[in-house]
Amino acid sequence: MGKFVNPFTDIGFKRIFGQEVSKPLLLDFLNNLLKGERTITDLRFLDKEQPADYREDRSLIYDIFCMTDTGEKIIVEMQNKEQPHFADRCLYYYSQAVSRQGEKGADWDYHINAVYLVAFVNFHMDGLGDNFRTDVVLMNKQLNEVFSDKERFIFLQLPVFHKEAEECNDDFERWIYVLKNMEILDRMPWVAKDSVFRKLAEIGEVSNMTKDERIKYDAALRHYRDTLNVMRGAENKGHQQGLIEGLQKGRQQGLTEGRQQGLTEGRQQGLTEGRQQGLTEGRKQAILLTAKNLFAMGLSKEQIAKATGLSLTDLEKL
């Protein structure tokens, strides 16, 4: 058990950002995220005001919904695993936050406040490349200008953030470093000169939880770890099964093609020579086809070389 809470659990995330006592932390994080654009002076949590349309696996997906003092809605969420249509899911959440601003009656003029969706993405997300931060807005394609400032998505791809504490250049990067490493920290950095991180250390320290809070947190942490272990096990099993099937398929297809080629050439050059060449070619074709199948499955050259016995030079020729 670490000294500080794991922010990748539902309870840990909500403890840091989703309770009244931690509101200064959320304000500081959002203001550093939006530094140079605007300053949020206050906000109100709206989670309890929103109807629950459905619930997903709360050990992996959870969010905080709040409204600033000037009316903007902000969704802050943690996404721990890749899922189909994640970008569409973000659009759906955004649309819900927009549509709920509608007012009944003929007098409503369709004025809406901006909605920001801030997503901590704890995996490599399609379409983000190697960028840690990706900002998405509604654009006029012809003019290459922002069409509306009411729509804003900010994706923070955590696996590509590799800075150590001494390499962080500003408070935003310090926030990301702490959130990514919080569970394994022995002490909270920057507490001597920054009251925000002193507050974070106080709120985030496991020993400061009540007995009931600790029981709920321990259960959430076990659930989070168990779920990730199941996911890793399934991925490893699929990888091994794919490797075995790829080898079997490559060998069978290569032997079949090799035998057929050997028989054809054997009729022309002599049955004995044909059989020998067919077997040789069959083995070669099997190995090459296996390598191609493994390439298609996404294995590295080093893994393929180890599985097939081919050299890296041979693999470069495929």
pLDDT of residue 61: 42
In this prediction, residues 54-65 reach a mean pLDDT of: 53
- Going by their DSSP bridges, the two strands 115-121 and 145-157 should be labelled as parallel
Two tokens, residue 293: 């199948």
56 pLDDT band, cuts 50/70/90, is: very low
The closest of 56, 175, 65, 59 to 115, measured between CA atoms, is: 65
In this prediction, residues 63-77 reach a mean pLDDT of: 91
pLDDT value at 248 more than 90: no
% residues pLDDT > 90 (the chain): 42
Sign of CA dihedral 168, 169, 174, 176: negative
253 pLDDT band, cuts 50/70/90, is: confident
247 pLDDT band, cuts 50/70/90, is: low
Mean pLDDT of the chain: 82
In this prediction, residues 301-309 reach a mean pLDDT of: 73
CA triplet 30, 34, 36: central angle to 5 degrees?
140
Quote the CA–CA distance of 8 and 180 in Å, as a whole number: 9
In this prediction, residues 62-86 reach a mean pLDDT of: 86
33 pLDDT band, cuts 50/70/90, is: very high
63 pLDDT band, cuts 50/70/90, is: confident
pLDDT of residue 83: 75
pLDDT of residue 235: 56
CA distances from 171 to 18, 83, 126, 162 (A): 20, 30, 28, 16
CA distances from 204 to 25, 182, 208, 214, 220 (A): 11, 9, 8, 12, 15
- Going by their DSSP bridges, the two strands 61-68 and 43-45 should be labelled as antiparallel
- Ranking 66-80, 95-109, 220-234, 276-290 by mean pLDDT, the lowest is 220-234
pLDDT of residue 213: 87
In this prediction, residues 105-115 reach a mean pLDDT of: 89
Q: Which residues pair with 79 in a beta bridge?
A: 61, 121
pLDDT value at 93 more than 90: no
Helix (H) or strand (E) holding 121: strand 115-121
- Going by their DSSP bridges, the two strands 115-121 and 73-79 should be labelled as parallel
53 pLDDT band, cuts 50/70/90, is: very low
pLDDT value at 277 more than 70: no
CA triplet 171, 173, 177: central angle to 5 degrees?
115
pLDDT of residue 35: 94
